[in-house]
Amino acid sequence: VQMAKAASLCAKAGFDEINLNVGCPSPKVTCNHFGAWLMKEPEVVKDMAQACRASCTHGHIVPVTVKHRLGVDDHDSWEELTAFV
């Protein structure tokens, strides 16, 4: 909900795109369940991206993208990557 509100504000301010970064491997970020940790929770990322996309239709559609890593921790197989994407 907070991400969707933030995305909406960005869209209203004229941003060209919204990029959700779920690739940061920093322990300061991942210990709080942000960044690359989110790759372990693809449904959360999907819901967040969908909510952001739905909130970014103020006269024009603002693309919502997701920046991610090839894998995280021991979740780095091709199958896990394609399932995430």
Which residues are the active-site residues? 24
If DSSP codes are grouped into helix, strand and coil, which group holds residue 27? helix
Q: Could you count the other beta carbons within 10 Å of the beta carbon of residue 75?
A: 14
How many whole angstroms separate alpha carbon 29 and alpha carbon 37?
A: 8
Show the tokens assigned to 8.
Answer: 């909406």
Q: What is the Rg, in whole angstroms, of the alpha carbon atoms belonging to the chain? A: 14
